[in-house]
Amino acid sequence: MNKLIYSTLLLASISSYAQSHNDVQTGYFVIDGARTLLEKIHKEKKFTIDHPTSKGYEVYGPKELKSWLTQNSPFPFYSLDTKEKEKSLSTYPTPEEIGEKLKVLAKENPDIFKLFSIGKTENNRDLWVMKVSDNVEVDEVEPEFKYVANMHGDEIVGREMLVSLLNEIASNYKSGDKETLSLVNNTEIFIMPSLNPDGAASKRRGNGNWRDLNRDFPDVVRDAKSFFSSGSIFDNAYVDHQKETLAMMEFQKSRHFALSANFHGGTEVVNYPWDTKKDDFPYKDLVVDLSREYAVKIPSMRDNREFVDGIVNGYDWYEINGGMQDWSYHWHQDLQVTIELSHSKWPTYDVVPSYYDKNRDSLFQYMKSIHQGFGVQIKNVEKFTVKISSIQNGKENLIDTISVPGNEFYKVLSEGQYKVQILANGINKVLDINVKKDQISNNGNFISILK
């Protein structure tokens, strides 16, 4: 086949495929607590399900969703679309006002804050990220952590909470608070209050093109099944994704994130991977512990009657394809959980501080957890291999083999003893690693290997 025709065909099929999956122009709540219709809706592919509970679930899709539900649903359903009038009553800051707040914070705290944009949205808004660290202008060898919120534009609490977190970090750092000093001085933290400012501006789930960004990432199962072997999305290539998704993909590639969280709203729970497949996550004990640690400090999350202990495995809850959490770990070894912060996606503005107050301790604890691990930096190599074995009762058990692009790697692990083998051109080193909670050290638990 002519190469040009071939690639045009490929692009056309990818583009129609993607369109059929994450158009979220309209949304309904279906009162189907027994999930009788859920599988049928999921099979339609063009509809997106969110937040199933014992009362029912949300369904989003293109305009035709309403007539499909009318024809197919024996259950009542009601619209979730924000009316124009309701939008104008919003007292929340606009994305531009959030941008201004971040600029002021960066200007007032130049020692520890650096604000930058990782790209533009479909409607040409900046995608702001605040770097938080000492020597903030320097790319230091320290564990890298990130928080991202508001990728669903109508789920607003996370955005406000991350701005509050930045405020508290700034004032704690100034007052010499020990916990904040040791965290900021030994970690590179990246905080992104909004991945979907276009959606937030219109108080809607989708972005400027009405796409659901949390269904827009390369998916190891969906995209492997749906594409013939050139499968460029399967290879995590940059084809037909929304600008916000592409910006995140590029940003992630440029860093070495080892731990992150993605904030949403609609219920209160910590959702851990995988979302797209039934298989156990390779570090299941670790991710369950970290999720529990987050939820246990928040009574309304811990005691949410829809879940046990305020946590849930993504796939057990409901299958998601193209989510950020699975993509983050599968392609970048960045352990990510999705945290649902509030039953109301858009509560009245005056209650927002109460959400920060109840999440505050968990937010700090989760950031500190990145120090529960080890890092390796090798000078003068472009790639290397890390083999991790756990040691239990004197027995060695190989648990992971990781090919690392670049010369820096960091891994969060459960508490315990490990043997780590580092293999690179001319290097074969075995390290004994003891992983403990809260072991923040001056070298950020990094081991430097000189070739």
Binding residues (CB under 5 A) for Zn ion: these are: 152, 155, 264
Q: How many residues does the chain have?
A: 451
d(CA 206, CA 86): 17
Q: Smallest distance from the beta carbon of 265 to Zn ion, in angstroms?
A: 6
Residue listed under structure tokens 């007032």: 108
108 is catalytic: no
**Residue 307: both structure tokens together:** 């879940």
Beta bridge partner(s), residue 321: none
Alpha-carbon torsion (185, 145, 281, 421), positive or negative: negative
- Give start and end residues of each alpha helix (H) in 122-210: 157-175, 178-185, 197-201
- Is residue 358 a contact partner of residue 282, using CB atoms and an 8 Å limit? no
Residue 211 or 264 with smaller CB distance to Zn ion: 264
Q: Among residues 281 and 346, whose Cβ is nearest to Zn ion?
A: 346
Least distance in angstroms from the C-beta of 30 to Zn ion: 17
Min. distance of Cβ 193 from Zn ion in angstroms?
15
AA identity, residue 80: L
Nearest-approach distance from CB 155 to Zn ion, in angstroms: 5
* Catalytic residue from among 142, 319, 340, 408: 340
* Closest CB to Zn ion among residues 180, 196: 196
Beta bridge partners of 335: 259
Helix (H) or strand (E) holding 194: none
What CA–CA distance (Å, rounded) separates 210 from 221? 24
What are the strands of the beta sheet with 408-412, ordered from one edge? 408-412, 373-378, 446-449
Cβ-based nearer residue to Zn ion, 155 or 244:
155
Instruction: Please identify, using beta-carbon distances, which residue of 152 and 241 lies nearer to Zn ion.
Output: 152
Question: What are the φ/ψ torsions at residue 237 (nearest 5 degrees)?
Answer: -85, 170
Active-site residues: which are they?
Answer: 340
